Structure 1
């Protein structure tokens, strides 16, 4: 049976690979991105997030089967904070009512193994408190600081999103409504977002030192697409609040057995 999916960040990278995979299986995908997709929308803004929900409702006829919040940035900027956390949360919460008409509703967010990296406590707290003005102000302070401070924005946004998924998944609004909510946390994926970081052998070696991936190293977005497709499929009826690291082993190397 054909399913209707909504994917943000669908014009490139993981989002594009997932859209193409699902469409090759005969499913309908409504893609959204800043340009080059079915819906042109800027998820760094409140207006853009509201537009996403309105247009998806119109295009879908009021019912969708799955939401995949893939859109994100990795630059040390305010925009990264806005789209990676608030854009993703608004996508999932805003489209949740449209999942009510599906017999197998699913929702997945894309975080990152960077959620394991150093982060800024004040920024993470502002994210989780839902205080966008405070979060963007703190992100601006970090962006104006040293390169190391600016780089905290990305990891902080992904840690906060991972924690949001864990907190929300078991609630009445998600699990209680029969909607599995989960996340994937990729390692270094070869996409336009990481092109500058993997352009030379020296750069790749340096990155591999920061993000150890002993199982086959860096990889393409198709591998993440396969995992996203399963998590948002009818077959996944019981995973709840899981952040699945598809990272070539970096989580195991960095955290060891600390999760137990």
Structure 2
């Protein structure tokens, strides 16, 4: 967020609002959060959308990047589906799309009644195949020097699907989710076609194509979250695909 803000600041003055939260999920608004997320005060996607809809001024530009916590397919997974996830993965992907589309439609309905143009960018999930190459490089480094990445394995406690045995299917699910996001944006653009002069909705694969295969892009403590360099790579990728949205808003 900070790096994107700095890049935007060089182009135009603006006021930024960040609604993201630790551990946030694309959710059904009536589902009760688990204890950990309640302790953390996590705002899931429905809560984030609600915050935007209640803002004093509706934003001109909305950047949405959420869903990475939803691809932890092994979380609360029955044993038989861990072994054969062929039905589970499409089911999770479809559920994700339904929940995402419902909240995005709420945003679009809010944008429709504004007196100014609104551009919304839906970012696909990161390229997990590339990401896990970086993770594997970090694991090899730790094997030769155990002082590196002291909380490397702590990741598995919070994100079960990061276990090597489950990574391939996590990557598969992320690819399925990105295809659902792309198709969802196309469908919603058809649904809101009469508002094409006022609302621009775009899917961006900028994060899905960013190269995250270097260990240096992962945090030196847990090898899970992005390092400063990793955040910069993602921010640069996200900003590089903003030109059509900025032009729609008259920002050049």
Equivalent pairs, count: 169
Q: CA RMSD in A?
A: 4.2
Q: Secondary structure at the match of 1:225?
A: helix
The aligned residue for residue 30 of structure 1 is: 17
C-alpha distance 96-53 of structure 1, shift in aligned 2 (>3 A): same
Larger Rg: 2
In 2, distance between residues paired with 1:185 and 1:57?
26
- Answer whether contact 2:26 2:66 (CA < 8 A) is retained: no
* Superposed displacement of residue 21, structure 1: 2.8
The aligned residue for residue 107 of structure 1 is: 120
In 2, distance between residues paired with 1:181 and 1:99?
11
Q: Secondary structure at the match of 1:156?
A: helix
| Aligned equivalent of 1:189, options 205, 210, 226 | 210
Shift >6 Å, 4+ stretches: none
The aligned residue for residue 46 of structure 2 is: 50
- Answer whether contact 1:108 1:228 (CA < 8 A) is retained: no
Q: Secondary structure at the match of 2:7?
A: helix
The aligned residue for residue 222 of structure 2 is: none
Verify: 1:154 aligned to 2:174, yes or no. yes
* CA displacement 1:125-165 (0-9 Å, x = unmatched): xxxxxxxxxxxxxxx99x9x854334311111111111111
In 2, distance between residues paired with 1:50 and 1:76?
18
- Answer whether contact 2:71 2:170 (CA < 8 A) is retained: yes
Unpaired stretches in structure 1, ≥5 consecutive residues = 1-14, 36-40, 116-139, 202-218, 238-260
- Answer whether contact 1:106 1:181 (CA < 8 A) is retained: yes
The aligned residue for residue 146 of structure 2 is: none
In 1, distance between residues paired with 2:126 and 2:20?
23
In 1, distance between residues paired with 2:103 and 2:3?
19
> Which structure dedicates a bigger proportion of its chain to strand?
1
The aligned residue for residue 80 of structure 2 is: none
In 1, distance between residues paired with 2:202 and 2:179?
14
| Aligned equivalent of 2:195, options 168, 173, 177 | 177
C-alpha distance 29-200 of structure 1, shift in aligned 2 (>3 A): closer
Q: Secondary structure at the match of 1:29?
A: coil
Taking the TM superposition and a 5 Å limit, the aligned residue runs for 1:86-125 are 88-100=100-112, 101-111=114-124
Higher relative contact order (CA 8 A, sep 6+): 2
Q: Secondary structure at the match of 1:18?
A: helix
- Answer whether contact 1:17 1:222 (CA < 8 A) is retained: yes
Taking the TM superposition and a 5 Å limit, the aligned residue runs for 1:175-254 are 175-178=193-196, 179-186=199-206, 187-189=208-210, 194=212, 197-199=213-215, 220-233=233-246, 235-236=247-248
